[in-house]
Amino acid sequence: MNLTLYVWRQKDAADTGQLVRYQAKNISPDMSFLEMLDGVNQELITTGGEPIAFDSDCREGICGACGQVVNGVPHGPRKLTTTCQLHMRNFRDGDTIYIEPFRSRAFPVIKDLVIDRGSLDRIIQAGGYISVHTGGAPDGNAILIPKQDAETAMDAAECIGCGACVAACPNGSAMLFTAAKVTHLAKLPQGRPEAGRRVCMMTEEMLKQGFGNCSNHYECEAACPKGIKARFIAKLNREFVTAQFT
Amino acid sequence: MFLPASSVGRKLVMAATGQLMTVFIILHVAGNSTIFFGNLNAYAAGLHSLWVLLWAVRIVMLPAVILHIIYALQLTVENGKARPVDYMKKENRTSTFAGRNMIWTGAVIGTFLVYHLLQYTFQVTNPALSAYRNLDEAGRPDVFLMVARTLQQPLIAAVYLLGVTALLLHLSHGIQSSFQTWGLNGERSFPFIRKGGSAAATILWLAYAAIPVTIFTGLLLR
Amino acid sequence: MTLDPKIPSGPLTEKWDRRKQEMKLVSPANKRKYRIIVVGTGLAGASAAATLGELGYNVDAFCFQDSPRRGHSIAAQGGINAAKNYPGDGDSVWRLFLDTIKGGDFRSREANVFRLAQVSANIIDQAVAQGVPFARDYAGYLDNRSFGGALVSRTFYARGQTGQQLLLGAYGALMRQVKLGSVRLHPRSEMLDLVVVNGHAKGITVRNLVTGEISSHAGDAVCLATGGYANVFYLSTNAIGSNVTATFRAYKRGALFANPCYTQIHPTCIPVTGDHQSKLTLMSESLRNDGRVWVPKNKDDKRQPGDIPEPDRDYFLERKYPAYGNLAPRDISSRAAKEVCDEGRGVGPGGRGVYLDFAGAIGRLGEQTIRERFGNLFEMYERITDENAYRQPMRIYPAPHYTMGGLWVDYDLQSTIPGLFVLGEANFSDHGANRLGASALMQGLADGYFIVPYTIADYLGRTTPGTANVDQQEFRASREEAAAATEKLLCINGKRTVNDFHRELGRLLWDNVGMTRSRESLTTALKRIPGIREEFRQNVAVPGSGGDLNQELEKAGRVADFLEFAELLTKDALAREESCGAHFRSEHETPDHEAKRDDENFSHVAAWEYKGDGKEPELHKEQLEFENVELAVRNYK
Ligand SMILES: Cc1cc2nc3c(=O)[nH]c(=O)nc-3n(C[C@H](O)[C@H](O)[C@H](O)COP(=O)(O)OP(=O)(O)OC[C@H]3O[C@@H](n4cnc5c(N)ncnc54)[C@H](O)[C@@H]3O)c2cc1C
Ligand code: HEM
Ligand code: FES
C-alpha cells in the first residue's frame, strides 16, 4: 500500500520544527510502523536527505524507548500496543498519517521524534524504590504476600516508562506513571515502611519537572500500551491522604 | 498545612471544596423546590430565623469558594504551561468537553454566582422587587414575588439557564473526579461513580432549571 | 601470555568463601576516593553500579539508551533460576551446578559455575526485598516453574516479564544511588574506546549521542556490562541497539576475547516475513511445555495445517528425542527445525518455519487454561502475524538469541587488562558452549550484586586512587582516534546504507556461521567478510554530521565493528574442530547427527588476542580442568 505521511521534523531543541510531507510506497501489511519508517529513511538516505530520527530499541513492546503520536494518539490507533508493535495492517492504502513526538514541557524534543524523558527518571529518583542494601536480605519467603496483592503490584509494575500517558494527557501530567510506581511498591509489605514519604516526594518531583496536574480525564489509561489502570491514581491519592494524616 | 504545596494536595482542596459546594447546592435546590409547593416564603422566613445556622453555612462556604477559585486558577495555569508546543493533530478518547473546560464553566458559574447573590441575597439588582420591601399576606418578605417577577424577564431567565447549565457541565465531570481525587473508589465502584456523577449532575440540572423554566413559561403561578 | 584463571584452591564448595576471605578490602573512608566506571545498565551493569555506589565508591554509569531502565535485559521473558528448592523436588546448589555444566556441554569453568549456583539463592532474596513482584501462590509463597527442559522447578518468574521486573528492581537501586549522589548517570552515551594507562584500565572515551561531543572519563577501574553481540547476525532477538562495540574496542586495547563462536540460536521465534524485517521476536520457550512441534511428512504438502491428517505429520522432536520430546534443549531443537526446513518441509512463506501446535493441549485442557497460561504470548503473536494461534498452529523458526562468548575473565571477573572487569553477557564466564534457559538473568545479577563488588575491592586495594586524569596523553590520543574514526565514516559519502551492509553481513553469517557450520561454509564466510568490509569502508552512506543526534552514524560505528568482529567469530568457529553445545560443525557429528565433542583436544577456552589491524589474532588456550564432574556425552534421547 501507499501512504502519505506528515512527519514532525525539528533539527534540534532550539529549532521550531514543522510537519513535512513524505510518501511511503509499497508498504507491506506485515511491516511494523517503525519498519515502515525505516523504509522511508533508507530512501531518504540514498536520495541525499536526512533520515527521520526516532527512538526504539527492543522493538517488542517492553523497553519503552519507542513512542510517537500517530494521528493524534500516542502509539497509534491500536489499543494496548506500542508503536514498535503496531503493524501496517492497521492502516489502509491511501491513508494519511500524522506523526508527532510525545509533547510535554518535561519532554523537550531533541530531534524530530526523539525526546528527552530524563524527567521520568528523576521522578523515580525521588523515591520510586525500596531502600534496601545489597546483601543481607531475608529469605524470599520470610514475608508472605497474598497472591492478590502480588498480582495488583505486578499489574502496576508493568509500566514501561514510555511516557504515552504524559503525551495523551491534556494537562501533560505524569500521574499515571507516578501512580503505577507508588501502587506497585505500596501493595507490597516490603514497600510499606517508605510508602508515605515516597508518595509525597514523587508527586512533588513530578511538579518540579514541569508536568501538569491530574484532572482525571483518563486519557492516560486509554493511551497506555500496557493497560495501567487509572484506579492506581486513586490509590496514589489515598496513599497521599494517608501520609498527610499519619 | 503542607497539603497545597503539592499537586495532589491542591487537587484534594479542589475536590473537598467542590464536594462541599455540591452538598450545598443539593440542600439549596431542596430548599428552593418549596417554590413548587407554594411555601417558598415560609421556607425563607424559617431559614432566616435559624440565623446561626445560616451564618455558619456562609462562613464555611465563603472560604470554600475562594479556595476553590484560587486553586482552580493555579492548577489551570500550571496545566497550561505543561505543553508549550501543542499537537497539530490530537484525538481525545476519554476526556470530555466538560472535563477540558472546567475553568470556563467554573468562570461562568462564578460570574453567575456574583449576580445571583447581588440579586437575591443583597437584592440590589432589582431594588423595586426586593423581598424586604414587599411583604406577603402573612407579613413575611415576599421572596416568591421577587423570584417570579425577575425570572419572568427573558434575559434574566436566560442568565439563570446559562448558569445552571454551566453547573451541569462542571459537575458532570467534577463529581466523579472528586471521588477519584480523594481515592474514594475501588475497582468495581469506579465505572459506577463515573456514570453516577453525570447522572447526579443531570438530576441537579433538571431540578434547578425547572424554576426559571416553569416561571418563564407561566406554568408556575402562585 | 599464559591465562591464569586465578581459581582459589580448596574444595569446590569452599572456593568462593576462601577467595572472599583472602581478598583485600578498601576501608570505608577510602572508598570515596575511588572512581569506578560502569558501562552498561542492563541487569549486570545496573546491579553493579548500584551496589558499588552503595558501598561508598564514586560511580559513573553509562548507557546508550535514554534511560538506564531500557537496558536490553528488560526483554527477558521466561524467568530466573535459583537453587532455592522451595518446591522440594530435589534441587540443590550442586544440581544447579551440574545442570549448568552439562548444559554448557562441559566447556565452562567448574569454579565459576559453582559460585553462580551458590549465590543464586541470594539473588531471589535481594529481588524480593526490592519489591520485585514474583509470582506467588494463594498461600503467599513464591511460585516456581520448570523451564527449558530442567527436571526440577527452579525458575522464578514475574508473568512473562521477569527481566523487566528484575531490571526495574536494579534500576530502582541505581536511581536511589543517583539521588544520594554516589552514582553519576550518563545516558545516551556510547563507549567508543577503553583507555589503558601503563597497562591498567583507567577510563573510557564516549560519544554523547545528543551533542556528538567526544569526551573521556577517567577512573580507577572500569566495569563493562555491555551485553551480547547476537546482532552480528543482523536479525536476532536482541534489541536493535545491542552491539559488540564496547567489548570489541576493549579487545583492540588488549583484552582477550573468548569463545566468540559460541552463539545460541533460540528455537521458538516468529519467522521472518520479508526484507523489511528489523528484528525477530522471541516466543517464550515455555510454549513448548504444551505445544507440539511438527512439519508435514511430505515435501510438497501445501494443505492448510488443519487439513493435514495425523499420519501425514512429522512430530520430529518427539520422533528423534523421545525422552525430552518437544522440550529438548535449545541447540538441539533449533538444529532439528533447520534440518526439516533444509529438506524442503518447512512451512509458511519462504518455507523457513515449523508448526507449534496447541490443538492437542486445547483439546485436553480447554482453551481457557491455555489462554491463562499463554494469553499474552498468543496476543503478541497475533499482533505480529495476524494469525490466531488458538485456531491454527503457530509458525516458529530459530533465531540468534544469546552469545556465550565474550571477553575473557578470570575468577574475579577481571579481564587480561588489570582494572577492567567484565560482567553479564559481555563476559564468557559461566555458560560454556550453551546457556540454559533462565540462567542469563541469574548470571548478570550474580556478577553485579554479589561478585564484582567483592573482587573489585581486591584490585582497588592495591591501587592508588585518582592517578588518572583525562588530560593524560593516553586519554587525548583515545579521543583523537575516536573523533577521527567518526569523521572518516561521515566522509565516505557512499551509495549503500548501513542497514544494507548489516543485512548482507547478517545473511552471510546466518547461512555459513549459523546453526550448523562446516569448514567449507566457514571458509566461504572468511573469504567474503573482508570484501563486505572493504565495500563498507568505501561505499557506505552516512548522512548528517557528527555534531548532533545522528542515528545512522551510531549504527555505522556499530556495524563497522561487527564487520571486523564477524571475522574473529568465524575464525574461532573454524579453529574449534569439534561440535559442542551451540557450536555445531557438520564434520563432527555422531552417526545419528548429534554433536560430537573432542574433549582431548578442545577442552579449553579459546581466547583471542588482537595483534593489530590486518594481522592475524593470536589464539591462547585456557585448559578446563574438571575435578568434580565427569565428562559425559549429553544425551536427551
Ligand atoms: C528476548 C529475550 C528473552 C530472554 N529471556 C531470558 C530469560 O527468560 N531468562 C534469562 O535468564 N535470560 C533471558 N535472556 C537473556 C538475558 O536477557 C540477557 O542475557 C541478559 O539480560 C544480559 O544482561 P546484561 O546486563 O549483560 O546486558 P544488557 O541487558 O544487554 O545490557 C547492556 C547494557 O550495555 C549498554 N551498552 C551496550 N553497548 C554500549 C556502548 N557501546 N556504550 C555504552 N553503553 C553500552 C546498554 O545501554 C545496556 O544498558 C533473554 C534475552 C532475550 C533477547
Ligand atoms: C466559582 C467558580 C468556580 C470555578 C472557577 C471552578 C473551577 C474549577 C476547576 C478549574 C476545576 C478543575 C480542577 C482540575 O481538576 O484541574 C474544578 C473542579 C471542581 N469543581 Fe469547580 N469551580 C467553580 C465553582 C464550583 C461549584 C459552585 C461547584 C459545586 C457546586 C464546583 C465543584 C467542583 C468539583 C466537585 C470539582 C472536582 C474536583 C476534582 O477534580 O477533584 N465548582 N472547578
Ligand atoms: S522499541 Fe521497545 S517498546 Fe517499542
pLDDT digits (tens, 9 = 90+) for B80-136: 999 999 999 999 999 999 999 999 999 999 999 999 999 999 999 999 999 989 999
* Average pLDDT over every residue of A135-142: 95
Domain that holds residue C527: 479-603
Asked if A40 and A156 sit in the same domain, the reply is no
Asked if C382 and C493 sit in the same domain, the reply is no
Please answer yes or no on whether A160 and C383 come within 8 Å at the CB atom.
no
Contact C497, A45 (CB under 8 A): yes
Residue with cell 551509495: C495
Residue with cell 575516536: C482
Domain that holds residue B172: 3-82+96-216
Burial state string for B148-184 with b = 16 or more CB within 10 A and e = fewer than 16: bbbbeeeebbebbbebbbbbbbbbbbbbbbbbbbbbb
Q: How many domains does chain C have?
A: 2
- Ligand 2 atom nearest B178 alpha carbon: 41
pTM over 0.90: yes
Which of A110, A144, A169 is the C-terminal boundary of a domain?
A110
Task: Mark residue C112 as left, alpha or beta (left: phi above 0; alpha: psi -120 to 50; beta: remaining).
Answer: alpha
Distances (CA, A) of C135 to A49, A64, C75, C91, C342: 50, 23, 18, 19, 40
Tell me which residue in A207, A215, A222 faces B6 most closely, judged by beta carbons. Answer: A207
Q: Closest-lying ligand to the alpha carbon of A237?
A: 2
Q: What is the pLDDT of residues C99-109, one digit of tens each?
A: 999 999 999 99
Asked if A156 and A233 sit in the same domain, the reply is yes
In a domain, B197, yes or no: yes
CA-closest candidate to residue C444, choices C68, C40, C144: C40
Please answer yes or no on whether A42 and C500 come within 8 Å at the CB atom.
yes
Q: How many domains does chain B have?
A: 1
Q: What does the DSSP 8-state code read for residue C109?
A: -
Which of C398, C427, C457 is the C-terminal boundary of a domain?
C398
CA-closest candidate to residue C191, choices C68, C70, C71, C62: C62
In C175-312, where do the E strands start and end? 183-186, 189-197, 200-208, 214-218, 221-224, 257-258, 263-269, 292-296
Asked if C593 and C488 sit in the same domain, the reply is yes
CA A61 to chain centre: 11
What phi, psi does C26 have (nearest 5°)?
Answer: -105, 130
* Average pLDDT over every residue of C441-445: 98
Nearest CA to ligand 1 atom 51: C76
CA C429 to chain centre: 11
pLDDT of the residue at B105 = 98
In a domain, B127, yes or no: yes
Asked if C276 and C391 sit in the same domain, the reply is yes
Asked if A102 and A129 sit in the same domain, the reply is no
Partners of B95 on chain A (C-beta within 8 Å) are 170, 217-219
Three-state DSSP state, A24:
strand
Asked if A90 and A149 sit in the same domain, the reply is no
Asked if A78 and A22 sit in the same domain, the reply is yes
Q: What is the pLDDT of residues C120-130, one digit of tens each?
A: 999 999 999 99
CATH number at residue B185: 1.20.1300.10
Which of A82, A110, A138 is the C-terminal boundary of a domain?
A110
Torsion over CA of C401, C404, C409 and C413, rounded to 10 degrees? 60
Q: What is the pLDDT of residues C384-408, one digit of tens each?
A: 999 999 999 999 999 999 999 999 9
Written as nine digits, the cell of C340 is: 526439516
Asked if A20 and A89 sit in the same domain, the reply is yes
* Average pLDDT over every residue of A207-232: 97
Partners of A106 on chain C (C-beta within 8 Å) are none
Q: What percent of chain B has pLDDT over 90?
A: 94
Q: What percent of chain B has pLDDT over 70?
A: 99
Above 50 in pLDDT, residue C75?
A: yes
Please answer yes or no on whether B75 and A213 come within 8 Å at the CB atom.
yes
Asked if A125 and A216 sit in the same domain, the reply is yes
Q: Residue B2's pLDDT band (boundaries 50, 70, 90)?
A: low
Burial level of B217, CB count in 10 A (0-12/13-18/19+)?
exposed
Is the Cβ atom of B15 under 6 angstroms away from ligand 2? yes
CATH number at residue C525: 1.20.58.100
Distances (CA, A) of A41 to A21, A54, C210, C241, C491: 13, 11, 19, 17, 19
Give residue B116 CA to ligand 2 midpoint distance, Å. 18
Asked if A125 and A231 sit in the same domain, the reply is yes
Residues with CB under 6 A from ligand 1: C 39-45, 62-65, 71-73, 75-80, 162-163, 190-191, 225-228, 237-238, 242-243, 245-246, 282, 401-402, 424-426, 438-441, 444
Residue with cell 466523579: B176
Asked if C483 and C393 sit in the same domain, the reply is no
CA-closest candidate to residue B205, choices B178, B159, B167, B155: B167
Partners of A186 on chain B (C-beta within 8 Å) are none
Report ipTM (2 d.p.).
Answer: 0.98
- From the CB of residue C364, how many other CB atoms can be counted at a distance below 10 Å? 11
With the C-alpha atoms ordered A227, A230, A234, A236, is the resulting torsion angle positive or negative?
Answer: positive
Please answer yes or no on whether B186 and A231 come within 8 Å at the CB atom.
yes
CATH number at residue A103: 3.10.20.30
Strand C406-407 with C214-218, pairing = unpaired
Task: Mark residue A63 as left, alpha or beta (left: phi above 0; alpha: psi -120 to 50; beta: remaining).
Answer: alpha
Three-state DSSP state, B203:
helix
Residue A9 neighbours by CB under 8 Å, 6+ apart: A17, A18, A19, A20, A52, A112
Domain that holds residue A27: 3-110
Please answer yes or no on whether B9 and A240 come within 8 Å at the CB atom.
yes
Q: What does the DSSP 8-state code read for residue B141?
A: B
CA-closest candidate to residue A129, choices C183, C132, C67: C132
Partners of A202 on chain B (C-beta within 8 Å) are none
Burial state string for C529-544 with b = 16 or more CB within 10 A and e = fewer than 16: beebbebbeeebbbbb
Contact A34, A84 (CB under 8 A): yes
**Side chain identity at B155, as an amino acid letter?**
L
B103 inside 8 A of chain A by CB: no
Is the Cβ atom of B131 under 6 angstroms away from ligand 2? no
Please answer yes or no on whether B190 and A106 come within 8 Å at the CB atom.
no
Contact A139, A79 (CB under 8 A): no
Q: How many domains does chain A have?
A: 2
Q: Residue A246's pLDDT band (boundaries 50, 70, 90)?
A: confident
Residue with cell 511538579: A207
Which of C365, C398, C431 is the C-terminal boundary of a domain?
C398
CA-closest candidate to residue C83, choices C116, C131, C130, C44: C116
* Average pLDDT over every residue of C486-492: 97
Partners of B198 on chain A (C-beta within 8 Å) are none
Please answer yes or no on whether A62 and C543 come within 8 Å at the CB atom.
no
- From the CB of residue C9, how many other CB atoms can be counted at a distance below 10 Å? 9
* Average pLDDT over every residue of C114-138: 97
Asked if A104 and A181 sit in the same domain, the reply is no
Give residue A240 CA to ligand 2 midpoint distance, Å. 21
Asked if A134 and A219 sit in the same domain, the reply is yes
Asked if A102 and A122 sit in the same domain, the reply is no
CA distance C456 to C462: 10
Q: Say how many CA atoms lie within 13 Å of A210 toward its Cβ.
A: 14
* Mutate which: C284, C383, C550, C558, vs A, most A CBs within 10 A: C383
Please answer yes or no on whether A46 and C495 come within 8 Å at the CB atom.
yes
B221 inside 8 A of chain A by CB: no
Contact A140, B47 (CB under 8 A): no
Written as nine digits, the cell of B52 is: 446561626
CATH number at residue C334: 3.90.700.10
Which of A56, A87, A110 is the C-terminal boundary of a domain?
A110
CA distance C561 to A137: 41
Above 60 in pLDDT, residue B1?
A: no
Residue A78 neighbours by CB under 8 Å, 6+ apart: A86, A90, C383
Residue C127 neighbours by CB under 8 Å, 6+ apart: A140, C80, C134, C165, C166, C169, C445
* Average pLDDT over every residue of A47-69: 97
Q: Which of residues 88-147 of A touch C (CB under 8 A)?
A: 89, 110-111, 114, 116-118, 120-121, 124-126, 128-135, 137-141, 143-147
In a domain, B151, yes or no: yes
In a domain, C160, yes or no: no
Q: What is the DSSP string of B33-96?
A: GGGGGT-HHHHHHHHHHTHHHHHHHHHHHHHHHHHHHHHHHHHHHHHHHT-SS--SS---SS--
Which of C375, C398, C421 is the C-terminal boundary of a domain?
C398
Nearest CA to ligand 2 atom 27: B21
Catalytic residues of C: 330
* Mutate which: A217, A233, A238, A242, vs B, most B CBs within 10 A: A217
Give residue B222 CA to ligand 2 midpoint distance, Å. 35
Please answer yes or no on whether B79 and A212 come within 8 Å at the CB atom.
yes
* Mutate which: A7, A107, A171, A224, vs B, most B CBs within 10 A: A171
Partners of B12 on chain A (C-beta within 8 Å) are 237, 240-241
A47 inside 8 A of chain C by CB: no
* Start-end of H helices in chain A: 33-46, 118-125, 147-157, 164-168, 175-186, 195-208, 219-223, 231-244
Contact C573, C522 (CB under 8 A): yes
With the C-alpha atoms ordered C80, C81, C82, C87, is the resulting torsion angle positive or negative?
Answer: positive
Q: What is the pLDDT of residues C316-360, one digit of tens each?
A: 999 999 988 998 888 889 999 999 999 999 999 889 999 999 999
* Average pLDDT over every residue of C566-573: 98
Q: What percent of chain C has pLDDT over 90?
A: 92
Nearest CA to ligand 2 atom 7: B106
Distance, in angstroms, between B135 CA and closest chain A CA? 47
Asked if A148 and A97 sit in the same domain, the reply is no
Q: What percent of chain A has pLDDT over 90?
A: 98
